[in-house]
């Protein structure tokens, strides 16, 4: 975090990333003194309603974040920023995105949790666009130009007002990760009861184990003798509002519809109370660790791994076999996970894996057979990328082996 005082005193010369959060109602012109170096401008958590014309005078500006402000339209000046690739305006009150507000080099657009009903045709004329987050709006239809997005790899359309399933998604040649639950075209699921419903006073929450866009996972002690649950459990308490992936209720239902599988986080109970939604899960053994790390600003849609992290090819084979079995299980139950990534996988030293995080999952059994095959085909691309990503950390000495080449061919066939 930086301050206006630092900026005004010239203390920030040469920085590439500037983050200001001081209840700003307008942007300080002193930012122009950073024109020779500034690439990332983070203005989240202010009171801004517009951005000044001089923003386009920052020749190296690649990324603008402005979440949690008071914008009602996407600022027009963004379209004139020649180097701008990533635009993030989550949780504003944006009702309009003008044709000319989208920068020509746009690669990543985040407009989650706003109030848009329509999208501009210019969206489909941004050929570099790879990642598009639009959950939690009022979008009723996609622009006709959407079919031109031949490089789009990830899209979030959950919690909108789409009346029909957007079949254009199934025609995009690179789309691999998509979420579409919580729209009017989605069949309302009956309450899934694959696990018992319990009360929130049945356990005592302890330390936080992890948290993401949709909720917080905590260690807990089970205290209700009416159910034969383990003494120690994990509890995911969902956030009440729409997340970057959709509605928490849809995540819970997709998770429960998927049912049990050896390589999935095991759900054993649910809480469905007024203003309180939670999933009770078995604790994952302590010897499991994260396989990958989420995509960076640079990689956009592809996972990264810890420096120097490698895997033997036999272990990669084992992980891939398990994930392919999970993939079949998911789609046999008509669930598109939407986030099939290494960073959602835990493994141990023996290569046994556990897959989780259903935040972007969409149940799709109500679609026609052609559409269902298309949904599976889209997620098969994510499976292909998953294999590719693991091969990128294969021990170099094994990259000429028959096993490695077989996995490479499998990735190509899965695509």
Beginning with the edge strand found earlier in the chain, give each strand of the sheet holding 154-156 in spatial order.
17-19, 40-42, 63-65, 86-88, 108-110, 131-133, 154-156, 177-179
Q: With H, G, I as helix, E, B as strand and everything else as coil, classify residue 93.
A: coil
Say how far apart CA 358 and CA 258 lie, in whole Å: 10
Please indicate if the annotation marks 334 as binding a ligand: no
Q: Are 89 and 96 in contact (CB under 8 A)?
A: no
Q: Identify the CA nearest to 128 among candidates 112, 148, 151.
A: 151
> Is residue 215 within a helix (H) or strand (E), and if so which, with residue range?
strand 215-222
Q: Identify the CA nearest to 73 among candidates 95, 51, 42.
A: 95
Q: Are 326 and 266 in contact (CB under 8 A)?
A: no
What's the token pair of residue 168? 């254009």
CB contact set of 219 (below 8 Å; sequence gap of 6+): 205, 206, 207, 208, 209, 232, 233, 234, 283
b/e burial code for range 266-285 (CB count within 10 A of at least 16 → b):
bbbbbbeeeeebbbbbeebe
Q: Identify the CA nearest to 359 among candidates 211, 195, 203, 146.
A: 211
> Is residue 376 within a helix (H) or strand (E), and if so which, with residue range?
helix 369-391
CB contact set of 373 (below 8 Å; sequence gap of 6+): none
Q: Pick out the residues of the known binding site for ATP.
A: 236
Q: Pick out the residues of the known binding site.
A: 236
């Amino acid at each position: 975090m930086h301050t206006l005082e630092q900026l005004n005193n010239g203390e920030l010369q040469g920085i590439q990333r500037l983050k200001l959060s001081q209840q700003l109602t307008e942007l300080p012109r002193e930012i122009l003194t950073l024109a020779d170096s500034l690439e990332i401008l983070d203005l989240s958590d202010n009171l801004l309603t517009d951005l000044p014309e001089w923003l386009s005078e920052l020749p190296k500006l690649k990324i603008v974040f402005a979440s949690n402000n008071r914008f009602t339209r996407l600022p027009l000046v963004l379209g004139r920023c020649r180097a701008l690739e990533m635009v993030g305006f989550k949780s504003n009150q944006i009702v309009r995105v003008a044709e000319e507000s989208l920068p020509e080099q746009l690669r990543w657009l985040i407009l989650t949790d706003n109030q848009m009903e329509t999208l501009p045709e210019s969206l489909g004329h941004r050929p570099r666009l790879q990642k598009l987050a639009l959950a939690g709006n009022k979008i009723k239809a996609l622009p006709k130009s959407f079919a031109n997005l031949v490089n789009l790899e990830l899209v979030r359309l959950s919690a909108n007002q789409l009346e029909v399933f957007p079949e254009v998604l199934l025609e995009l040649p690179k789309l691999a990760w998509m979420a579409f639950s919580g729209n009017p075209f989605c069949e309302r699921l009956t309450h899934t009861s694959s696990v018992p419903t319990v009360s929130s006073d049945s356990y005592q929450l302890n330390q936080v184990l992890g948290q993401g866009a949709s909720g917080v996972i905590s260690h807990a002690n089970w205290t209700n003798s009416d159910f034969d649950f383990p003494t120690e459990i994990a509890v995911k308490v969902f956030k009440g509002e729409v997340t970057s992936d959709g509605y928490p209720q849809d995540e819970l239902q997709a998770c429960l519809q998927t049912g049990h599988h050896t390589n999935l986080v095991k759900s054993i109970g649910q809480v469905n109370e007024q203003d309180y939604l939670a999933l009770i899960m078995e604790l994952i053994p302590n010897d499991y660790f994260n396989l990958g790390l989420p995509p960076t600003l640079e990689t956009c849609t592809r996972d990264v791994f810890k420096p120097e992290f490698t895997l033997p090819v036999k272990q990669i084979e084992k992980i891939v076999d398990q994930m392919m079995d999970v993939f079949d299980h998911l789609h046999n139950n008509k669930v598109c996970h939407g986030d099939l990534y290494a960073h959602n996988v835990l493994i141990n030293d023996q290569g046994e894996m556990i897959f989780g995080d259903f935040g972007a999952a969409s149940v799709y059994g109500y679609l026609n057979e052609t559409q269902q095959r298309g949904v599976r085909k889209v997620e098969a691309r994510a499976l292909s990328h998953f294999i590719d990503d693991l091969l990128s950390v294969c021990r170099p000495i094994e990259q000429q082996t028959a096993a490695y080449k077989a996995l490479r061919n499998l990735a190509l066939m899965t695509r």
